[in-house]
Structure 1
Amino acid sequence: MRGYFYLTVSIAGEIFATTMLKLSDGFTVPLPTAGVLFGYTLSFYCLSLCLKTVLLSLAYAIWSGAGTALTALIGSIIWGEAFSSLKILGIILIIGGIVVLNSDSSAETVKEPSR
């Protein structure tokens, strides 16, 4: 369960960093630029902690899919970017892919690599 907590924090950090990336205006605005560095550092650190207990393929699918879907929503809400039915379909397909990866019960935990 702790792995999914770290995954959630990692996703939040990635979404924060991506939002700050838009506000940084090509890294010319100092505070958002610092936010980018902080957010991505937090995101990758927590993702690395998550990978101690969550499968790589599952964690990355959730991390990238949730980040993509939520960033699309934020872009629409904050910056008024178009949110068409095609984008909604794309988000549904992303969520569907994550569900399919999650439904594989044959590999529930991370196995130690052989040495």
Structure 2
Amino acid sequence: MIAWLALAGAVALETVATLTLRVVSREVRVLPLVLVVLGYAGAFTLMTVSLRSLNVGIVYAVWSGVGTAAVAVIAAVVFRETLTPAAVVGIALIITGVVVLSLSGAHHA
């Protein structure tokens, strides 16, 4: 349970850091830049906690897949970026793939 909570925290921090990069790309300011660095550092730290009991393939699939889907959806709302029907299908496929992979056996043998 701790591993899954750590992984959820890693996804959340990575999502915040990635969305904050969008802000930094427009104007480099110290606070958002610090948030990016701390967000990624925290995400990797929490990923290492989850890797103590979950397979690396599962951790990376969840981290990258859910993170990608979350960033795309949040960016569409916050930054008014376009989500085409094909993008929505792609996000659904990512989530489906992560769920299938997770159900295939997430814990170390």
- Interval containing the TM-score (normalised by the shorter chain): over 0.9
> In the alignment, residue 85 of structure 1 is paired with which amino acid?
P
Aligned residue in 2 for 1:4:
4
Q: How does 1:50-65 map to 2 (within 5 A)?
A: 50-65=50-65
Relative CO higher for 1 or 2, CA cutoff 8 Å, sep ≥ 6? 2
Q: Distance in 2 between matches of 1:25 and 1:59?
A: 28
Q: Secondary structure at the match of 2:68?
A: helix
Give the unaligned 5+ runs of structure 1. none
Equivalent residues, number:
109
Larger radius of gyration: 1
Report the counterpart of residue 80 of structure 2 in structure 1.
80
Structure-1 residue corresponding to 2:108: 110
- Deviation of the 1:25 alpha carbon: 2.2
More helix by share: 2
Taking only the aligned residue pairs, the percentage that are identical comes to 31
Q: Is 1:14 paired with 2:20?
A: no
Paired residue secondary structure (2:83): coil
Q: CA RMSD in A?
A: 1.4
Give TM-score, length-normalised by structure 1.
0.89
User: 1:24-103 alignment to 2 at 5 Å?
Assistant: 24-25=24-25, 28-103=28-103
Q: State TM-score, norm by structure 2.
A: 0.93
